[in-house]
């Protein structure tokens, strides 16, 4: 008998028929002899409907009241799912975040979970009941209703799994797992049976948006085995776990890409200590997040400095940078919005040499010019002209033989 936390998102509970479908899946897992805790989001569209009501009153509604408002979305779903389970003869009880004491800080609309008192849930599980918990919400120490911010239901599920020491936390979505890359770009992209937390973090932050990054971090921190699977199609999904030493590790797990970035370069900056801070300080103050940062060795007492930002922030960042360039006596500012970042990700590259050369060789063979390179322990990212996105991803997918299971 396993203790499993299942999480179903807004699309999976989007209407009564889908709620019945979820009830069927929950009942099957329960009837198979497992203890089941279910976390659900608001029915798709409901949160937007509520936000729209608030916006009619105020462009910036009181955060405390905003949380009271939007938290009703999940409360509706837990009640309906519990009704559906009970009607099927599967005993179930619903709880709001407050009721199961999901204690958070008081940062309304983006609260963080501090503690969970799981005793009430355990009592129900012992009595053979399925426990249905509202995702995305909790209460602060004063009893005020808080929300974890949009998509926070994944975090609720992982936090509950950690508190209950669950055997597995299953995240049901509209995709059936994590792929070696986007199947819309590479038709023979393969679903991974397993992936490590670290790889998943790199994949997620690089554009394969299957799971909320925070929930993966959380799962990694508390070592909660996380499984991504589809609520519409059968299948084992992808298990996200710690690296297992006995696990035969492929060198590369997947190819991620991101087409939302833009590149900015400041040329001929007098090279002196603090130059990076002088350039990026004003960018940070303007609330612009920077992704890749590259500074080459100085030539002739000047240096070139390149970084990428989200494409939406490009104009703003360029204005800030041009002001900085004048102040620092730099020669020129250049920018490019037609770029794409492609990354190969894999914990296996730690112990395998030659990943970088395989990557660069494959891209060179297709005459794809590399504009920037950045590396971390388990990934290598390159920036190329956006017109090479599909060709680049396919080339790398082939070069690392990702269409084959357990590529060594």
Which residues are at the interface with a copy of itself (CB under 8 A)?
16, 19-20, 50, 53-54, 56-58, 61-62, 64-66, 68-69, 71-72, 75-76, 78-80, 82-84, 86-87, 93-94, 96, 98-99, 143-145
According to DSSP, residue 179 is labeled B
- Of 81 and 347, CB closest to a copy of itself: 81
Which residue lies nearer to a copy of itself by CB, 33 or 143?
143
Shortest distance in whole angstroms from residue 338 CB to a copy of itself: 43
Q: 267: which 2 tokens?
A: 């040329």
Are 108 and 66 a contacting pair, CB within 8 Å?
yes
Alpha carbon distance 369, 223 (integer Å): 40
Q: Provide the β-strand partners of residue 94.
A: 132
Q: Rounded to an integer, what distance in angstroms lies between the CA atom of residue 29 and that of residue 334?
A: 57
What residue has token string 């730099």?
330
Q: Which residues contact 239 (CB under 8 A, 6 or more apart)?
A: 168, 193, 194, 195, 225, 226, 227
Distance CA 326, CA 269 (A): 10
Selection from 181, 37, 18, 27 nearest residue 100 by Cα: 37
CA distance 302 to 269: 5
Q: How far is the CB of 36 from a copy of itself (least distance, A)?
A: 17
Q: How far is the CB of 94 from a copy of itself (least distance, A)?
A: 5
Supply the DSSP symbol for 351: T
Bridge-based pairing of strands 35-40 and 130-134 is parallel
Closest CA to 381 of 285, 313, 294, 322: 294
CA angle 263, 150, 129 (to 5 degrees): 140
Whole-angstrom distance, CA of residue 170 vs CA of residue 240: 10
Instruction: State the nearest-atom distance from the C-beta of 128 to a copy of itself, in Å.
Output: 16
Task: Give the residue with the Cβ less far from a copy of itself, 27 or 82.
Answer: 82
CA-wise closest residue to 100 among 122, 83, 82, 85: 122
Question: At closest approach, how far in Å is the CB of 366 from a copy of itself?
Answer: 54
Tell the smallest beta-carbon distance from residue 43 to a copy of itself (Å): 9
Q: Which is nearer to a copy of itself, 145 or 226 (CB)?
A: 145
Tell me how far, at minimum, the Cβ of 44 lies from a copy of itself, in Å.
14
Edge-to-edge order in the sheet of strand 145-147: 113-116, 102-104, 137-139, 145-147
Q: How far is the CB of 144 from a copy of itself (least distance, A)?
A: 8
Are the CB atoms for 93 and 132 separated by under 8 Å? yes
Question: Can you read off the two tokens belonging to residue 57?
Answer: 């009153």
Residue 77: CB minimum distance to a copy of itself, A: 9
CA distance 186 to 241: 25
DSSP state of 313: G
Q: Nearest approach, Cβ of 161 to a copy of itself (angstroms)?
A: 23
């Amino acid at each position: 008998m396993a203790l499993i936390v299942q999480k179903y998102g807004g699309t999976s509970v989007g209407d009564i028929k889908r709620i019945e479908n979820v009830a069927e899946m929950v009942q099957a897992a329960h009837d198979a002899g497992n203890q089941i805790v279910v976390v659900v989001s608001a029915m798709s569209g409901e949160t937007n409907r509520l936000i729209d009501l608030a916006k009619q009153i105020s462009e910036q509604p009181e955060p405390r009241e905003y949380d009271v408002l939007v938290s009703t979305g999940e409360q509706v779903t837990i009640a309906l799912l519990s009704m559906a389970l009970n009607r099927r003869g599967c005993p179930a009880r619903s709880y709001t975040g407050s009721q199961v004491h999901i204690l958070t800080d008081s940062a309304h609309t983006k609260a963080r979970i501090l503690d969970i008192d799981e005793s009430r849930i355990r009592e129900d599980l012992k009595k053979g009941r399925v426990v249905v918990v509202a995702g995305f919400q909790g209460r602060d120490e004063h009893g005020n209703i808080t929300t974890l911010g949009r998509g926070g239901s994944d975090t609720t599920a992982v936090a509950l799994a950690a508190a209950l020491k669950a055997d597995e936390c299953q995240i049901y979505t509209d995709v059936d797992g994590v792929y070696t890359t986007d199947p819309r770009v590479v038709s023979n992209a393969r679903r991974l049976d397993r992936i490590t937390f670290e790889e998943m973090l790199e994949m997620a932050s690089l554009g394969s948006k299957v799971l909320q990054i925070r929930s993966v971090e959380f799962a990694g921190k508390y070592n909660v085995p996380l499984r991504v699977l589809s609520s519409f199609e059968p299948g084992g999904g992808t298990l996200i776990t710690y690296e297992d030493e006995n696990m035969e590790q492929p060198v590369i797990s997947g190819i991620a890409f991101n087409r939302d970035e833009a590149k900015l370069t400041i040329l001929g900056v007098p090279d002196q200590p603090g130059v990076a801070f002088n350039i990026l300080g004003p960018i940070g103050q303007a609330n612009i997040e920077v992704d890749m940062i590259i500074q080459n060795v100085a030539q002739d007492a000047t240096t070139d400095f390149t970084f990428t930002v989200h494409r939406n922030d490009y104009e703003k960042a360029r204005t800030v940078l041009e002001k900085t360039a004048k102040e620092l006596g730099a020669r020129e500012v250049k920018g490019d919005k037609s770029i794409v970042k492609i990354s190969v990700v894999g914990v296996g590259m730690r112990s395998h040499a030659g990943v970088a050369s395989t990557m660069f060789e494959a891209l060179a063979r297709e005459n794809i010019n590399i504009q920037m390179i950045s590396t971390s322990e388990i990934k290598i990212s390159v920036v190329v002209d956006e017109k090479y996105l599909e060709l680049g991803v396919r080339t790398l997918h082939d070069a690392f033989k990702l269409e084959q299971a357990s590529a060594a």
